[in-house]
Structure 1
Amino acid sequence: MRGGTNFLKSRLTAEWLILFVAMLALLVATQQRGWTQRFDLFLLDIEGQINAPETDPSIILLKIDDRALSQVGSWPWDRSVHAELIDKVSAFAPRAIAYDVLFIEPGTEASDQALANALRSSGKVVLPHSFAAKPNTVDGLMPVYPLPLFRTNAEGTGHVALVPEEDGVSRQFDLVFEIDGETFPHLMVATLALARQTKWQNEAVAGDERDTAYVRYGEIGSIREMSAATVLDGSAPPQFFEDAIVLVGATSQGLGDRYSVPSYAGGILPGLEMQGALANAMLTDNLVKRASAPWTLIVQIAAIVLLFASFWRLSPRSALIAAIALVAGLFAVFFITLMAVNIWLPVGGALLAIVISYPLWGWRRLTSVSRFLEAEAAELGGLATLPSSHKSEGFDVVAQQVAKLKQLTKGVTGNLTLIQDVINASPDAMLVTDGDGAVSMGNFAAQNLFGPMKKVQGLQLRDLLDAAGGELDEERNELDLGDGRTFWLASADLDADVGSQVLCLREVTEIKEAERHRRETLEFLSHDMRSPQVAIIGLAQQKDAGLKAPERFGRIEDQARRTLKLTEDFVQIARISNEGLEREETEMNSVLQEAADRAFPLAHKKGIKVVFDPHEEPFFARLDPFAVARMLDNLIGNAVKFSPENSQVTLGFDVGTNGQAVVLSVADQGPGLSPERRADPFARFGARDTSAGPSSGLGLAYVKQVVDLHDGEIAIEPVPGGGTKFVITLANV
C-alpha cells in the first residue's frame, strides 16, 4: 500500500511541475502572439467608460458638417473657401489651428494661391500629412506632405496615421512616427507645440512620450464645437475662439472620414472628434501608456507562482478560494494602475492560465484518485473497517483521502451493476442484448430515446427500432428517426460465448447536416464560382476576336465583380453561421435610413427612389446592427435590381405590441418572385431569377438566417399593382 501511495505522490508531483512549466510557456506565448489581446482591450474599454476624462475648455472642434455642406456646396470645397475659413478663424486670435484636411492634389492656381496666402497670413495653422508605400521596398513607408505651396506657408505639419487594433477599433495613436531614423510628430503634437504647450514641443517629445498612447474617449459632445457654417456666415462670436486650440475637419457622414471606436464612445466617430479626444488627453495628462513587456510578464508570472503554490500546499477548497482571490487581484491591479497612473497592464494571459490550470489540476488529481481506487478495488477483496492504528498517508490532502479510502474499498459488487453504471455515465444511448438478440439493459439516454426499460426489455432490436419510428440502414449502420434525427449504430461483443452485445447509438444529425452543407458548397464552387472564372479565361484569350479591348475588359470586370459578390455572400453566411449574433442597443430609424443611403448610388443609376418614412420617435431594439444592416442591403439591392426604371422602393418600420418586436418591410414595384423562386425563396444555391443579371441565391438565404437567429419571422406579400413586399418581424429581447 505504501508503494502505491508513493507512486501516486511522485506522479502528482511530476504532473504539477509539467503543468506549471506549461502555464509559464502559455504566458510567454500569449504575450508574444496576443491571444488575449481582445479581452484586454475589452477591459480597457470598460475602464475608459468608467473613468471618463475631464474636458479641457481650450479645445474647439470646428466641424465641416452637413449644415456647412448645405451652405457652401458639395465636397470638395474650392480652396478659396478654406482660405476664407482660415482667415475668419485667425481673426478671432486662437492659439493654434489644426486644419485636418489633406491638400495633396493641386486645385486652380488662383484658389491655391488664396489658400497659401491665408496660411501665411494666419501663422497659426498646422496641416496634416499621411504616409504611403515607398517605391521599390517591401514594407517601406514615406511621408506624403501637402503641396509645397501650402507646406511652406503653414506653420507646421503633423501625421494623421491611424492603425486600429486587431478588433478593428481605433484606440491608439503614434505620438511620434519614425522612419529610417527620421521622426514625424502627430498632428496634435505639432499643434500643441505651436500653441506653446511646453511639454509637447518637438524637442521635448522624447523617451516614453514617443511610445504609442491610448486614449479614453469622453462623453460624446463634451468638447466644445461649432459648425463651420457659423463662422463662414459671420455669426460666430469672436470671444468663442479667443486663445483656443481650434481643430478643423470633416464630420459629415457622406465624407467618409469616420472610424471605429469603442462602443461606449458611440462605435463610430469622425476623425476630427478622435483628434479632439487625443488633444484633450494630452492637455489633461490622461494619455494611457501600455506597461512594458517585461513588467507585464513579471506580474503575470507572480500570479501563476502563487496559484501553483496553493495547489501544492492547500486543500481543494482553499485552493479554489486562492484562485478566485488571484483573479480578483489581477482585475484590481489592472484597474488601479489604469486609474491611478494611466498605465495599462494587460492581465488576460494570467487569467487565461488560471482558467486553464485550475480545472486541469483538479481533473488530474481526481483522475489519479479514480485510477488508484479502481486499481485497489480490483486488487483487494474488501476490508471491513479501518484499524484503530490507521494513519493517513499521502502527498497532500487529496492523497491522504485516497490512502484512507483504499482501506475501505471492498471490491466490485457484480458485472451487471458495473455495466449498468458504465453505460449510464455515457451521454450516448447504449443497449445490452442477450444471446437471443433481445434487449436486456439500457442506459438513461436509451430510455429517453426509446421509453422506460420496463417496456423495452425483451424486445428484439428490429422491433424496438420499428416502434420508435426508425429506419436502419444496415450498410451504413445509420438509424434515421421520423423526427429528422440520425444516429450511428456501433456494436461490440460483450460475451462472445453467450452472444451478448453492447450497442451504442451516437447522434450524428449535425454531422449529416454539415455533410449536406459541404455538398452544397462543392456545388457552389464547381458551378457558380467556376462559371465566371471560365468566362474570364475565355475573354482573356480573345485577343484577336471581334470584341474591342474596352468591351472585352468591361466584360472581364463584370465577371470578376460577380465572383467577388458570390464570395462575399458566401463568407457572410458562413460567418454568421459560425459566430452567431452580437446583440446591442440599436436605434432602428438610423439603421433603415443608413440602408436607404447606401442604396442611393445604385438606385440613382436607374432613376429609382428609395423612400423611408421614419418612425415618429427614436426606438431602440436589442439586435445585431451589422447583420440587420446587411440583411436590409440584400433586400433593398434585390428590390432595386429587379425594379423597372423610375419606380420606387419603399422601406417601412413599425413597433410590435409592447415593444417586444420590430417590424421591417421592403416593397418594390418589380415583377415579383419567379415561380421557381417562390417554391423555396430562401434556399441556398436554389432556383433563382437571372433576368436582371447573374444570381447565386445567397442573398435571401442570408436574410432568412438573420431572421431565424433573431427568433423572427419573414413573410412575402404581393404589392397591389405589381411588386413584392418582404415583411420581417424581429424579436426585441
Structure 2
Amino acid sequence: MNRDPLLTRTQLRWLEWLVLAAILLACVAWASLRGQPRAVNAMVQDLAGWVSAPSAREDIVIVAIDDASLQSVGRWPWRRAILAQLLRDIEAQKPAALGVDVLFSEPDRVYPQDDLLLADAIRNAGNVVLPVDWRMADVDIGAELPIANLRSAASELGHVNVSVDEDGVIRRYFAAQGEDTGPWPHFGIAMLCAAGRSHPLCRGVQAPRPGDAWVQQSPEVFNFARGAEPYRLYSAETVLTGRVPSNAFTGKYVLLGATASGLGDYFASPARPSSRHIAGVELIAHALDSQLSGRHVTPASAATDAVVNVGIILLALAAIAVLGPMAGLAMQLALAVGALLLSFALRNWAGVQLAPAAALMGLVVIYPIWSWRRLSAAASFLQQEMVTLREALENTGAPQRNAALVDDFLDRRIKAVETATSTLRQMHGFVRDTLRQIPSPTFAIDPQGMVSLHNQAADQYMQTLGIPPQGLIPIRTVLQGLRIKSTGQELWFATPEQLGALPAESEVIDRQQRPWLLLAEAFRAPAPDGWLLMLVDMTELHKAMEQRDQALRFISHDFRSPQASIITLLEMYQEFPGQMTEADLHHKIGRLANQSLEMAESFVQLASAQSQSLQRRPVHLDILLQEAIDDCWAKATEKRLQVRYAPRRLEATDTEIITLGDRSLLHRCLVNLITNAIKYSPAGGLIEANVTAEHGYWVVHIQDHGYGMNEEQLTRLFQPFQRFHQNSQPHIAGIGLGLTFVQTVVQRHQGFVSVTSIEGEGSCFSVHLPMNGGDDSALPPAP
C-alpha cells in the first residue's frame, strides 16, 4: 500500500519544526551563556530593579561635603584639622558606625600636626571606616591604603570600587576585592563590622601579604532604594556650625563624603535619569542598605540563565507546534510577559537577577519565522495539489476548469474541490474494476461489518466455503472460525471494535485448515469508516520455508562435505595415480580447504575467545573504538552508512578511558558489533558509538537505527547459530556466532553486554568493561 501523503506532510512539518527548534535553542543557549544581548538585558534588569525598589532605611545618614560647605569653609582640600573637628562633632552623638569616604593616601606635608589630630579623632571614635582604593600603573594593580597612623587608628577598611558596565552605568559591586591573600570587604560591609556586627569578610585594618593575583569575589547587584534622594542628607557646613538636631546621628550609620560639583566621584546609575548622576558616597549608602536589610541581589549564573531561557523557548516551540495561529500568538505573548514577571519575582523574592533577553529575542523571531514557513508550505502544497489534479484530469477525461491564471487564490481552491469531486466519482468505478482484478480475496467492509465490495478472488473463496456471493454479506459469516496460527486465538468480526482490534498483519488458519496471511487496513476519515481485508495464500510460502529448512540442513551437512571430498580425492589419487595430475590434486584440495576454512573461521574465533589466555595490557577504549570504526569503514561505505564516533563528557574532561584487557580480542569484539550494526541497518543510515562511565564500568555504546528486535528475539540473542531477519532481510549472511563471540570475550574480561532494541527503530549494544581491569571484588554484580 502507498503511504498516505498526509503522513509525509506531517513528517515534513515536524522536520522543519525540529530544524527551527535546534537552531533557535542553540542561538538562545549561546546568547545566554555570553550574556547577550546586553542592552536588552540591562533594560529588563533596570526595569525589574525599579519595580522592586525597596524603601530606604532611616538609620543611614549622609554628611555631604557639598557646594554650600565649600563656600562656607573654603575650597578643597580642607585642612585635616577641620575634618578632625567634623568627626568629633558627629561622634559626639554616638553613631553606630562612621564611614569617611575620603582618601588619605599621603601625609599632610604642610600641616603635619593635622594628621595627628585626625588620627586622634578617628581613634577616639572607635568605629570609623576608611576607604581603600585601587591603583593601576602599566600592569601593577594594588590597593591604595590610608597613611599608616590613620589606618592604625581606624576600626575597619573597605574598598569603594564599583563595576562599570559597557554602557557606562553602575549596576554591580564586589563584596570583596584585593590581593588573593586577603581581599578587602566592600565599604558597606566594613560599616557593619565597625558597628560590631559579625560578617565573614570582617578583617580590620591589617594589610594582607603581597599576593599573586588581584581578585574580585561575590558580585552583588545594587538594590537601589526608592526615591530621588532616599537617604537623609546633612551638609558638612551645618554639622560644623552645630545646626543639626541633637539626635541626628545617634545609633545611625553615618557616611561622610563629597557631593560638590567637580569634587566627588559621580556615576550614571539605573536609579537616576541620565541628567542626574549619583555620588560615590550614595552608592555606598545603597550597598550598606542591602547589607543591613539582607536584601541581597546576585546575578544568576550563565548556566541558570541558559536553562531558564531555553525552557521558555521550548514552551514557545511546543505552543506553535500544537496550537493554532491565534492561540500560538497568545502563548508567545504570555511567555514574554511571563519571562518579565519571572525576572521581577526572582529579584524581589529570591534576590536573583536573571538575564532573560535571549528568550525575549527568541520569542520575537520565532512566531513570524514559523508562520512564514507554514504559510509558504501551505501555499506550495495547494499549488502542487492543483497541478497534480490537472495532470490526473488530463488522463481521466474528467471536466476541467479553465482561466485559472485570472482567478484569485480562493477561486482556485473552490475549483480544485469541484474537479476533485468529479474525479472521485469517476475513480470510484475505476477502483471497483481494479479491485476485481486483485488475485487475492479482498473485501471492503463498511462500519456495520458488511461486505460492501469484493473481488472475483473473494467470490471464488466464498464459493469454496459454500457461501453465495450475492447481496450484502456479513464479514463474520465469511471469516468465521479464522484463528491465528501461532496462538490458536480465534478472530472475531462482529462489531466495529473487534474489526478495529485486528492486527495489521497476522498469519491465520481458516475453517478448512488452509494457511493465509490476513492484512487489515482501516479507512481513516478522521475516524475509521470501513476496513479493507485481504487474504494472501501462504501455501506457496510455506513450501518455500520448507525448502529453506532443507537448504539449512544441507548447509550443516556441507560443513563435513569438503573434508570428505578431500579424503576421496587422496584415495583416488593413491588408487589410480595416472588419472589425476598432482597439480589438479593440489588445486582441488586447495579449493575445498578454502571452503572449509571460511566456514570454520567463525568457529575458530569463538574457540579462541573461549580458550586462549588473555594478554592483559592497558587498553584505551576510546582509541580502540575509533580503530574498530576505521576498520569497518569500507563495509559501511559500501552500504552508504555513516559510522560516527560521538565523544561524550568523559572525553571533554580529558578522562583516560583505560581498562586492562586483551587488545586483539576486544578489538575483534567491537568490530563484530559494528559489523552487525552495518548488516542490520538499511542503506543510508547512521550508526553512533561512544563511551560512558557507569558504576565502576566503562560502557561502550553502539547504536544503530536499523531493523531492531522483539522481546522473543532478545531472549535468544547470544545463543549460537541464532540469526534474525532472515525472512525480511535474506541478503544478510552469517551463521549466528558473532554475538556469541562478543559475549564470550566480554565475560572473560569480567564484564557484561546489555541490549535495548525496538522493532523498526534500531538496537543499542552496550559493552560494560571494568575500570579496574577485572577485580571482581571492587565491582557491582552484573545483571
Q: Which one has a bigger Cα radius of gyration?
A: 2
Per the normalisation by structure 2, the TM-score is 0.46
Per the normalisation by structure 1, the TM-score is 0.49
